Amino acid sequence: MEEISPINKSGESLKIRLCLIALFAVITPALHAAGPGKAAIASAHYLATEAGHEVLANGGNAFDAAVAVSSVLAVVEQTSSGIGGGGLWVLHRASDGFEVMIDGREMAPAAADKDMYLNADGSVNRDLAVTGPLAAGIPGEVAGLDHLATHYGRLPLSESLKPAIRIAREGFPVYQKFFGMLKYKEQDIRRWPAATQAFLPDGKIPAMGDVIKLPDLALVLEKIAAEGRDGFYTGGTAQRLVDGVRAAGGIWSMADMAGYTVKEREPVRTSYQGYELVTAPPPSSGGIAIAQMLNILEPYRLAELGKVQRAHLVVEAMRRAFRDRALHLGDSDFYPVPQEMLIDENYAAGLRAGIMYDKATPSDMLPGRENLPEGTDTTHFSIIDAEGNMVAATLTVNTIFGSKFMVPGTGFVLNNEMDDFSAKPGEPNAYGLIGFTANEIQPFKRPLSSMTPTLMLSEEKLAAIGTPGGSRIITMVLLGVLDFMDGNGPESWVSLPRYHHQYLPDTVFAEKDAFTAEEIAELTAMGHTVQVRERPWGNMHGVMWNRKTGEVTAGSDSRSDAGRAIVR
Ligand code: GLY
């Protein structure tokens, strides 16, 4: 067993932390006075990455490019995100170092009720919670795009939505991931005629390379391009959506639509090895969990440890952060999330004290409760423009093709984000995640997310990172951040073999290449249950600017065929 001597951090922690944050506040504007001179965009689809660069070439900045990338993904990757869903955009403005998170997360409609998915016998009706219009929250993506364009971009929506409108009208070729997901979800899609017509033209799964056209979606996007958020949340589009949802058993109202607003949120900030991390606050659990795990891990000098010892400690940090996620996290506008406590280094020191260097802590021994299957969908992209503005954005319709439900005449699926609430205390959702009061359903509340769009900033390097993958988002981002801290670039973060622990089930899930048989035997001897999964997970996209060398790099996860990272 290796010697581990965690440096004593908690005593000096507050002072160092305040000094670092003050230092960042002073140096950040100066730091970014001169940009990298070129731009990098990495996203889950080549057409979206190209659209971002097109908008930059037409005079837009990273925030306009984010509108273009988001909206093209909303056309070509409806498995994962869309204007029927929502998203979180973490922004860094180069001119003054200002950072903010744009919260365009979906919202529960006014008629939502905490018991709305319970059968008469008290069990959860999983079908209603994930399929069809009752599963859908009021979408936030369009309000997010409008807000980005109006407050941070240089171009009107009519410019930055052009690529999406063109692609919706002219079509895009079916690619491997899209094809695979259509096959996987065909039966659920067939339950809804408009979705069937859009994605199964001629009544069957299109072949690879066949062109999918979405003319109804092009019209909806044109209205948004002309009228901004009002073109979606009020008037004809809103009426069509509300009527369509209600006719199929949903509970949306025109007032829910008109009342939807974007929230600007102060990001979660934490420091690690001289970097400031700027990441997602509630209604996401991601940023708090990342801060908490890094606080637990920092004193361990991970870079000096062997692979198994390092993985053991990382898993122990994951286990503890996910226990707190289940107990304490929800929409902070509705529930008093103890954020300051959770990201405090003294609190982390307490959690660290319970970690044994050579033995797994059974999750049952941690005060708290239960339960994960596979991360499914959502999308992420990262951008840095020539001036040094950055965006890390994670967008979602929740599970693959969201609720599968499409209102006739719209061309886009609605999310099933209501399943990110806890439908019943302790009852697992689609990701096996549990929750309690903090994340129970309430009218107008936003469901707890795991999305973790994250920026990493220092005098030397600026980077953006994130990924889809349900509850595994958080642990993938953690592994990516630790790889960045080891000195590696985006190509490395996105291709790292992954492992994951989420408190319950008390199992380390591992991709095939994450550990050798000997390493698994060593982890098992420490008390871990390791389960190797056949299917890989995640679809990470990152960008980095090394100010010292001037190099701008980007990486796109090879686990999906369509992603593309381009520096130009
Ligand atoms: N719907 C996945 C998430 O927000 O975490």
pLDDT in tens, 214-260: 999 999 999 999 999 999 999 999 999 999 999 999 999 999 999 99
Asked if pLDDT for residue 458 goes beyond 90, the answer is: yes
**Cα separation, 458 vs 245, whole angstroms:** 47
Read off the pLDDT of each residue in 60-86 and give the average, rounded to a whole number.
98
Report the interhelical angle of 345-353 vs 10-31 (nearest 10°): 130
Q: Tell me the CA–centroid distance for residue 473 and ligand 1, in Å.
A: 9
What would the mean pLDDT of 136-157 be, rounded to a whole number?
A: 98
Residue nearest to atom 3 of ligand 1 (CA): 449
CB 55 within 8 A of CB 160: yes
**What does the pLDDT average to over 478-506?**
96
53, pLDDT greater than 70: yes
User: Which position has the higher pLDDT, 154 or 18?
Assistant: 154
Q: CB under 8 Å to 18, separation ≥6 — which residues? A: none
- Name the closest-CA residue to atom 1, ligand 1: 398
Tokens representing 38 are 């070129």
pLDDT greater than 50 at residue 554: yes
Of 566, 192, 551, 507, residue with least CA distance to 382? 566
* Exposed / middle / buried, residue 535 (Cβ in 10 Å: 0-12, 13-18, 19+): exposed
Closest ligand 1 atom to Cα of 394: 4
* Positions marked active-site: 378
- 12-36+265-364+450-560 has which fold? Glutamine Phosphoribosylpyrophosphate, subunit 1, domain 1 (3.60.20)
User: What was the pLDDT predicted at 368?
Assistant: 53
| Residues above pLDDT 70, as percent of the chain | 92
How far is ligand 1, taken at its centre, from the CA of residue 74, in Å? 16
Nearest atom within ligand 1 for CA of residue 420: 1
Averaged over 416-440, what is the pLDDT? 84
CA of 11 to the centre of ligand 1 (A): 36
Atom of ligand 1 nearest to the CA of 468: 2
The answer to whether residue 369 scores a pLDDT higher than 50 is no
For 319-354, b/e burial (b = at least 16 CB within 10 A) is: bbbbbbbbbbbbbbebbebbbeebbbbebbbebbee
| Residue 394 alpha carbon to ligand 1 centre in Å | 9
Instruction: Give the position, in ligand 1's atom list, of the atom nearest the Cα of 451.
Output: 5
Out of 216-225, 357-366, 424-433, 529-538, least confident range: 424-433
Q: For atom 4 of ligand 1, which residue has the closest CA?
A: 449
Counting ligand 1 atoms within 8 A of each CB, the residue from 415, 416, 451 with the most, and so the one to mutate, is 451
**Token pair 């958080």 in the structure block, residue:** 474
Ligand 1 centroid to 141 CA: how many Å?
14
* Res 160: pLDDT: 98
Domain ranges of the chain: 12-36+265-364+450-560, 40-85+110-261+379-392+407-439
Query: Has residue 7 got a pLDDT over 70?
Result: no
Q: From the CA of 42, how far away is ligand 1's center (Å)?
A: 20
User: Looking at the predicted structure, is the pLDDT value of residue 437 above 90?
Assistant: no
Q: Would you call 380 helix, strand, or coil by DSSP?
A: strand
Query: In this structure, are residues 61 and 387 in contact, taking their beta carbons and an 8 Å threshold?
Result: yes
* Dihedral of the alpha carbons of 479, 480, 483, 489, in degrees to the nearest 10: 170
Least confident of 26-40, 208-222, 434-448: 26-40
Ligand 1 geometric centre to CA of 470 (Å): 5
| For residue 315, pLDDT beyond 50 | yes
Instruction: Give the number of the atom of ligand 1 that is nearest the alpha carbon of residue 396.
Output: 1
pLDDT at residue 371, rounded to an integer: 36
Pick the atom of ligand 1 nearest to 105's CA.
Answer: 4
CA atoms of 468 and 450, how far apart (whole Å): 9
CB atoms within 10 A of CB 307: 12
Q: Is the dihedral of CA 88, 89, 92, 93 positive or negative?
A: negative
Q: Please tell me the distance between residue 396's alpha carbon and the centre of ligand 1 in angstroms.
A: 7
The total of other beta-carbon atoms located within 10 Å of residue 451's CB is 31
Pocket test residue of 279, 450, 475 for ligand 1, highest count of atoms within 8 A of CB: 450
Query: What is the CB < 6 Å shell around ligand 1?
Result: 378, 396, 398, 417, 420, 449-451, 470
CB neighbours of residue 438 within 10 Å:
22
Is pLDDT larger for residue 114 or for residue 371? Answer: 114
pLDDT at residue 193 greater than cutoff 60: yes
